[in-house]
Structure formats: structure tokens, C-alpha cells
Amino acid sequence: MIMVVNNISLKYLRSGVRLEATVVDKKGIQKDLYFVVSGLNKKFIQADASPFIPALLPSAMSQGENLKIEGSVSRNILVRQKKFQNKIAQWENSLKKVKVQAKAIDKSMEKGKRVGLFFSGGVDSFYTFLKNRRLGKNRVTDFILIWGFDIALDDGEFFGLVKKRIQTVARQVGINLIVVETNSKELSDNYVDWQWQVGGSLGAIALILKNYFRVVHIASATSKEDTAPFGSHPQLDPLWSTENMKIVHEANGCSRLERVCKYIANSEVALGNLRVCWKQVKGKYNCGLCEKCLRTMMELELAGVLSKTKTFNVPLDLERISKSVLPSSSVVFSKEVLKELLRKDEKPELQLAIEKQLLISWRPPVSYRAKEFVHNLDHKFNNDRLFWYLSAKGLL
């Protein structure tokens, strides 16, 4: 059983350089996997096959298919993919270890000079940028904005809105913006849960840009190195580094609340362009109502800068907070805000709303559990299509 990657080629388009390949799975189904890169000189992109290893390995592992690459790849990637497999197969037993073969070893040793950061406009990417900005040698020179991960390829209107904002940020802080459009998620969604693929897809994009960058930062959502298993992880992402390009996923002990209070709250450009929403309600940069929007608004309120934040167009809804059930992974964020409010003895109404929220999250009502059951089925068997449909219609 083999997944074959062939026809690896480059095309020069008006919109950028397109690296693509044909992927043939064990059923003989053929699909194109592509990455279109714009915002840098085309000479930096080569028809190298290395990116297709991380872009497809979790998919191949989920199907138990060996991965055969009809092209040349970096020796480091070929060696380190084994470490990636060992680690991720320990965490998720539906991912089976497979063999990876490549036609040849890429001997090119070009060395990039630039320092990149994957940038979505969220708390973690703004924090990583602002923190890094204080450094001398490793200052970020380029943002990498991706279309096709959290923003679906058929939502060009929303991506246009986000791109415009990130262009503004990049201009204001004097950073070059590279945009990458890819169907990597769309393709891997046919095989494997995105949580196991996301780090590989980020690694693939870094590898496409390996002649341009010497360092690429992945903003960590976590503060601990030994954080819970996930596809983008401090122990996994650096494995996709090459001889000349280092991928850094640094979890440095700074909690989300500290990131907001110490960095975001003191940056006008962050407060003017912060994007955290999961829902992508038509025409809205942040909906101001979903769990992640509410969580961030609470943190900004605690930091005393919610009124200065320009990207939430609705007031903080305490009633909504008190009635919202948190997913277990988000309880820690509300607890952190509450602890700090109690310590400072501030905003008693917000304290009360969070206390109610934590209580209801501890014992969710039946209606919530039924909704969660449908959501889990939609996630497992339907690639969240129902969620995105209802979300776009403003029905969630």
C-alpha cells in the first residue's frame, strides 16, 4: 500500500509561484497538492520535493500507506521524519508508522538570510512578533500569511479582508508580507484530523521557503515544552528544519493572559488589528460572541484596553459569558482571568459572570451535550462542514 507523489513542478503565475505535485493514494485516487507563494522573488522557490513529506506524512500514516516521493529531498528531512513518526504514533494510535522513500537527495546548500514568522493576526502571533522585535540578530523580517488553513479556499471575500488588515500591520511595522495559498488542509482532510496535520503543513511551507529564510518562527499557543500532544508542537515542528534553515516553535513560559497584558495591551498596532475569531461570520473580522472572542475580550478588559481595541464591534456581553459552556481545554483561560480579577479586587460583575460560566461548564445542560454530540460527529465524519455552513449563516 503506497501513497505516491509525482509530477513535482513549478509554475510561474501572475499571482505568484506555484509548487505542485500529483498525489496518488492506495485506491488510485489522484489529487493535486499545491502551494502558491507571493511576496518574494521567484528565484527563491525550487521544484524541491522535501515539502511534500511533512505535507503528506500524517495522511499516509493514517492510511497505513508508505510514502514514495518521485523527487529529491533534503537528507535531514528524510532522517528526521522517522523521529516525527515515532513521536506522533505514540500520541495517536490511529497513526501507523510507514516507510518514506525518495528518488534522490537534494544537495543544494543555499543559505537564506531572512527571518520569518507565520502570522495570522492572533494573540500568539502578535505576541511572538512583539517579543522578537526586542531582539537584535533574530528580528522577524517577513510575515507568512496562509490562505487555506483557518480560512477556507472558497471564502475569498473573508481572506481578502484579513489580507488587507495584515498588509496594513506589515506596512506599519516595516515587515515584508509573504502570502501562501494552499489546498494542503483541504486534501489532508480526506485522510486525517487536521490537529495531527497542521504542524506538517506549516513545516511544508517553511521548506518551500528554505532558500529565503534562515529561521522560521511558529508562534506557540502554549507556554510549556511538554504540552499536550498536538500536530504543531515544540517537540515536532523543529524536526522539519534543514541543514540551513531552522524552525523554531518556542514555548517560553508566558501564559495567554500574560501575552495579552504585557505585550498586546501595549501595542497600538495589535489593538488595531487583532483577529481571534473562530467563526468567520460574513463580513466580520471578529464576531465578538464566540468562545474565543469572549475569552480574548475578557483578557483585554482585565488589561484595561478593551475600549481601545478596534476589532470587536460589540460590547463585552456578561450575560452571554455567564450562560456559555466552556470546552474543557478553555476552562484554564477563564480561571486565569478570574484569579487575576480576584487578586486585583476589580470588576465584580465580570467576576460573577466568570464564576457562573465555570459552574455551568462543570455540569453542562443536556441541550449543550446534545449539541456537542452533533458537533463531534460533524468533526469526525464531515470535516466540520455543518459547523462552517451554520457559522457562515450566523446561526451559531
Give residues in contact with Zn ion (CB under 5 A). 277, 279, 287, 290, 293
Q: How far is the CB of 289 from Zn ion (least distance, A)?
A: 6
Beta carbon of residue 219, minimum distance to Zn ion (angstroms, whole number): 19
Are 250 and 266 in contact, with CB atoms under 8 Å apart?
Answer: no
For every residue of 274-335, DSSP letters joined together read ----SS--TT-S--S-SHHHHHHHHHHHHTT-GGG-TT--S---HHHHHHPPPPGGGHHHHH
| Residue (130 or 277) nearer to Zn ion, CB | 277
Give the separation between CA 132 and CA 258, rounded to whole angstroms.
16
Give me the least distance between CB of 288 and Zn ion, in Å please: 6
**209 or 300: whose CB is closer to Zn ion?**
300
Query: By C-alpha distance, which of 29, 9, 31 is closest to 19?
Result: 9
Which lies closer to Zn ion via its Cβ, residue 277 or residue 353? 277
To Zn ion, the closest distance from the beta carbon of 310 in angstroms equals 15
d(CA 270, CA 286): 14
Q: Which residues is 146 bridged to in the sheet?
A: 180
Picking from 1, 23, 19, 2, the residue whose alpha carbon sits closest to that of residue 10 is: 19
Burial class (CB in 10 A: 0-12, 13-18, 19+), 136: exposed
Query: In the complex, what is the shortest distance from the CB of residue 318 to Zn ion, in angstroms, rounded to a whole number?
Result: 16
Please identify, using beta-carbon distances, which residue of 55 and 274 lies nearer to Zn ion: 274
Nine cell digits for residue 10:
513549478
Nearer residue to Zn ion within complex by CB, 18 or 279 = 279
CB nearer to Zn ion: pick between 95 and 289:
289
Q: Residue 60, SS3?
A: helix
Q: Output the smallest distance, CB 393 to Zn ion, in A.
A: 15
Q: Which three cell numbers stand for residue 329?
A: 481545554
